[in-house]
A and B are shown apart, each in its own frame.
Chain A
Amino acid sequence: MAEIVLDKLTKRYPDGALAVSEVDIEISDGEFIILVGPSGCGKSTMLNMIAGLEDISSGELRIDGKRVNEKAPKDRDIAMVFQSYALYPHMSVRENMAFPLRLAKVDDATVKAKVDEAAKILDLTQHLERKPANLSGGQRQRVAMGRAIVRSPKAFLMDEPLSNLDAKLRVQMRTSVSKLQKQLATTTVYVTHDQTEAMTLGDRVVVLRSGLVQQVGSPQFLYENPANLFVAGFIGSPAMNFLAGTLENGRLTTGLGSVALSDRVRQLAEAAKAPRELIAGIRPEHFEDARLLDAAAKEEGTTFAATVDVLESMGSDKYAYFTIEGETATSSELDELAADAGSADVPASGAQLVTRLSAASAAKEGEKVDVWFDADKVQLFDPKNGKNLTYSG
Chain B
Amino acid sequence: MSQTVDTAPTAEATPSGKKKPALSEGKRAERRLGLMLCAPAAFVMVAVTGWPIVYSVWLSLQRYDLRFPDQREFVGLSNYVAVLTDGYWWTAFGITSLITVVSVVIELVLGMLLALVMHRTLVGRGLVRTVSLIPYGIVTVVAAFSWYYAWFPDTGYLTSMLGLEAPLTQQIPSLLIIILAEVWKTTPFMALLLMAGLALVPEDLLKAASMDGATGWQRFTKVIVPVMKPAILVALLFRTLDAFRIFDNIFVLTKGANDTSSVSMQAYNNLIRGLNLGIGSTMSVLIFLAVAIIAFLFIKLFGASAPGNDAGGRR
Contact = CB atoms under 8 A, between A and B. Distances in A.
A and B touching (Cβ–Cβ under 8 A)? yes
Interface of A: 12, 14, 52-58, 69-70, 72-73
20 contacts: A12-B19, A14-B23, A52-B15, A53-B13, A54-B13, A55-B14, A55-B16, A55-B19, A55-B26, A56-B17, A57-B19, A58-B17, A58-B18, A70-B14, A70-B15, A70-B16, A70-B17, A72-B12, A73-B12, A73-B13
Interface in B11-36: 12-19, 23-24, 26
Interface in B133-166: none
Interface of A is mostly: loop
Nearest to B22: A14
A38 to B, nearest CB: 26
A318 B276 CA distance: 94
A70 B23 CA distance: 16
Contacts of B14: 55, 70, 72
B29 to A, nearest CB: 12
Contacts of B26: 55
A19 to B, nearest CB: 13
Interface of B: 12-19, 23-24, 26
A55 B24 contact: yes
Max chain A Cβ within 10 angstroms of own Cβ: one of B17, B23, B24: B17
Nearest to A49: B15
Nearest to B26: A55
Contacts of B18: 58
A55 B14 CA distance: 7
A12 B21 CA distance: 11
Nearest to B27: A14
A54 B13 CA distance: 6
A53 B16 CA distance: 13
Contacts of B15: 52, 54-56, 69-70
Contacts of A52: 13, 15
Contacts of B16: 55, 70
Nearest to B23: A14
Max chain A Cβ within 10 angstroms of own Cβ: one of B12, B13, B15: B15
Contacts of B24: 55
Contacts of A69: 15, 17
A8 to B, nearest CB: 12
Given A55-B24, A72-B13, 8 more contacts: A54-B13, A54-B15, A55-B13, A56-B17, A57-B19, A58-B19, A69-B15, A70-B16
A51 to B, nearest CB: 9
Contacts of A53: 13
A291 B285 CA distance: 94
Question: What are the 6 A-B residue pairs with the smallest beta carbon separation, nearest first?
Answer: A55-B15, A56-B15, A57-B19, A69-B15, A55-B13, A55-B24
B2 to A, nearest CB: 15
Contacts of B23: 14
A58 B13 CA distance: 15
Nearest to A51: B13
A73 B24 CA distance: 17
B173 to A, nearest CB: 56
Nearest to B24: A55
Contacts of A12: 19
Nearest to A48: B13
